[in-house]
Amino acid sequence: MNTEKVRCLIIGSGPAGYTAAIYASRANLSPVLYEGMQPGGQLTTTNDVENFPGYPQGITGPEMMEDLKKQAERFGADIRFGYVTATDLSVAPYKITVDGEKIIEAETIIISTGATAKYLGIPDETKYAGSGVSACATCDGFFYRKKVVAVVGGGDTACEEATYLAALASKVFLIVRKSFLRASKIMQERVLTNPNIEVLFEHETLGLTGDKVVQGANLVKRRGMPDEEQIHIAIDGFFLAIGHKPNSDVFKPWIETDEVGYIRVLNGSTRTNIPGVFAAGDVADPHYRQAITAAGSGCQAAIDAERYLSEKGI
Ligand code: NDP
């Protein structure tokens, strides 16, 4: 197989990966970045980004990612299309297989492969993507001021998003498939005492309705039970909050993760359990998951990689 040696390999092309590439190229690490399956990452599926500092008028997700990419290329980052299919982190330089046909031997690796929001799997989620369906209340909630929205899920994320949206929207439905919330007690209490939130326990979503944009949802209550009932709610926005899956599977034989799959980093750094391998952005962040925090940790990872290489004299 074709082999290439690099000093710094960056895997993933969201705000964390591109920011790492900007810093690593400016530090003369000659980084090579593989974009993965979704060049630009999760932000390419959002419309306007209004909470990233420096854009007073906001910017579209795809435009912002294109700008970050160009900024990294301006300093010499080698950005390539390709997907990591196998890893061998047993000994440095680490061997990373790309598209099953090329091996990169890397002295340092920055893993910034992100996380993927889970979806229900109903066709209407795709049909109304960017037109009323979102998986990030912090990103898109602002567009639903004084409107009616629904949040799906019963965990901490769903409760947090419902509470956040309740301060903006005129009403929030929380669609929970079980008869109870899985969230922590304090989050449950916030939801259950919020007059703006109506919790629909034991409800599942069958589909969404609307002409071009979401205008309603068809739900089923107590599916399969003798008293099963179908209802329709009028909504303007439909938010998924049923969990995220960090994209860490390909590294799992080597890299320590938590039980969900988020990569564990050593406190206050981006270091993983393998020397010279760093993690940045959503793949290592179960808590914040914002573009700006991902970009910040991408910067940290590049600085950590630079210091590691200089300590080793590589
Ligand atoms: P969780 O896995 O905790 O919860 C997912 C929720 O989505 C559950 O209520 C689950 O239902 C529901 N769900 C899953 N699949 C479906 C489906 N197909 N249809 C309908 N509902 C579905 O994920 P979270 O993202 O909420 O939390 C992840 C982790 O992050 C947790 O450990 C959480 O505590 C933590 N977290 C902490 C926060 C904080 O402390 N501020 C904030 C956000 C997250 P069911 O219960 O029936 O399985």
Is the pLDDT at 54 greater than 80? The verdict is yes
- Average pLDDT value for residue range 20-36: 98
Confidence at residue 176, expressed as pLDDT on a 0 to 100 scale = 98
Confidence at residue 48, expressed as pLDDT on a 0 to 100 scale = 75
pTM score over 0.75: yes
- Asked whether the domain spanning 119-240 has the same topology as the one spanning 2-116+244-312, the reply is yes
Cis peptide bond upstream of 226, omega within 30: no
Amino acid occupying residue 209: T
* Assigned superfamily of 2-116+244-312: FAD/NAD(P)-binding domain (3.50.50.60)
Q: Is 240 helix (H, G, I), strand (E, B) or coil?
A: strand
Is the pLDDT at 47 greater than 80? The verdict is no
Give strand pairing partners of 171.
148
Is the pLDDT at 45 greater than 80? The verdict is no
Element (H, E) at 33: strand 32-34
- Confidence class for position 233, pLDDT limits 50, 70, 90: very high
Confidence at residue 164, expressed as pLDDT on a 0 to 100 scale = 94
Mean pLDDT computed over every residue of the chain: 96
- Average pLDDT value for residue range 280-284: 98
| Secondary structure (H, E, C), 189-210 | HHHHCCCCEEEECCEEEEEEEC
The pLDDT tens digits of the residues spanning 188-213 come to 999 999 999 999 999 999 999 999 99
Going from the Cα of 299 to the center of ligand 1, the distance in angstroms, rounded, reads 29
Is the pLDDT at 143 greater than 70? The verdict is yes
Backbone angles phi, psi at 56, to 5 degrees: -60, -30
- Of the residues 116, 157, 282, which should be mutated to test ligand 1's pocket, given the most ligand atoms within 8 Å of the CB? 157
**160 in ligand 1 pocket by Cβ < 6 Å?**
yes
Amino acid occupying residue 20: A
**Which pair of tokens denotes residue 218?**
């068809």
Note the Cα 179 to chain centre separation in Å. 28
Confidence at residue 266, expressed as pLDDT on a 0 to 100 scale = 95
Distance CA(167)–CA(169), nearest Å, equals 6
Q: Which atom of ligand 1 is nearest to the CA of 184?
A: 34
Distance CA(184)–CA(179), nearest Å, equals 15
**261 in ligand 1 pocket by Cβ < 6 Å?**
no
Closest CA to 27 of 76, 79, 82, 87: 76
Closest CA to 283 of 111, 82, 133: 111
What ranges do the domains of the chain cover? 2-116+244-312, 119-240
**242 in ligand 1 pocket by Cβ < 6 Å?**
yes
**Which pair of tokens denotes residue 145?**
């001021």
**Which pair of tokens denotes residue 303?**
């600085």
Going from the Cα of 156 to the center of ligand 1, the distance in angstroms, rounded, reads 6
- Average pLDDT value for residue range 249-262: 96
- CB neighbour class for 222 (10 Å; exposed up to 12, middle 13-18, buried from 19): middle
Query: Hey, whose CA ends up nearest to atom 30 of ligand 1?
Result: 286
Active site residues: 136, 139-140
Is the pLDDT at 46 greater than 80? The verdict is no
Long-range contacts (CB closer than 8 Å, 24 or more residues apart) made by 233-236: 233/148, 233/150, 233/173, 233/200, 234/148, 235/132, 235/148, 235/149, 235/150, 235/173, 236/132, 236/144, 236/147, 236/148, 236/149
Confidence at residue 44, expressed as pLDDT on a 0 to 100 scale = 79
Length of the chain in terms of residues written:
314
Confidence at residue 231, expressed as pLDDT on a 0 to 100 scale = 97
**62 in ligand 1 pocket by Cβ < 6 Å?**
no
**Which pair of tokens denotes residue 10?**
């960056």
- Confidence class for position 267, pLDDT limits 50, 70, 90: confident
Distance CA(134)–CA(297), nearest Å, equals 24
- Average pLDDT value for residue range 107-122: 96
- Of the residues 159, 175, 182, 289, which should be mutated to test ligand 1's pocket, given the most ligand atoms within 8 Å of the CB? 182
The pLDDT tens digits of the residues spanning 61-91 come to 899 999 999 999 999 999 999 999 999 999 9
* Assigned superfamily of 119-240: FAD/NAD(P)-binding domain (3.50.50.60)
Going from the Cα of 46 to the center of ligand 1, the distance in angstroms, rounded, reads 21
